[in-house]
Structure 1
């Protein structure tokens, strides 16, 4: 089993429904980097409407906005992470990194000798 490894994914769920996980986190980070939900959706090969639904559903279930938008103007508008959106993406990634380390240790403990 030395050449094998364990993979895991973590989701925040509410009443059995996915609220936040790897996909929405990547979407938010891409919006943050590109300054636009539309550009982020294109970069991730998804429709704008799907990206919008993912964000709106998460916001509704979490009870706070993840993105703030500015329309038009001299700079053409855009989308930006709210402070809670920034915190959520950061702590989700930190949690995943730490969890992966723990999972690696457990995997080695239980499967290294098989």
Structure 2
């Protein structure tokens, strides 16, 4: 598995854990609703769980590989609802900073 897929799977797992929970349950695995709520409240703790539990990480990557289109779409919606794309939000501020760097005139 490549690094990009691994990162995308981990990030989306932290953003939309309910989708992964549903997929785990369909596969017959146990994924308590309390865990989904906990991940939503403390996404950094979910990242730590993924680092410590290789079996969970493998499952998350497998699910992401199969359903990445739906997961990416749900994650984008969740990010939008969380205000990451709001006018003046964190993402916009980063984009503005990045664009400012490209508009710098080079003296002749």
TM-score normalised by the chain length of structure 2:
0.29
Greater helix percent: which structure?
Answer: 2
TM-score normalised by the chain length of structure 1:
0.28
Greater strand percent: which structure?
Answer: 1
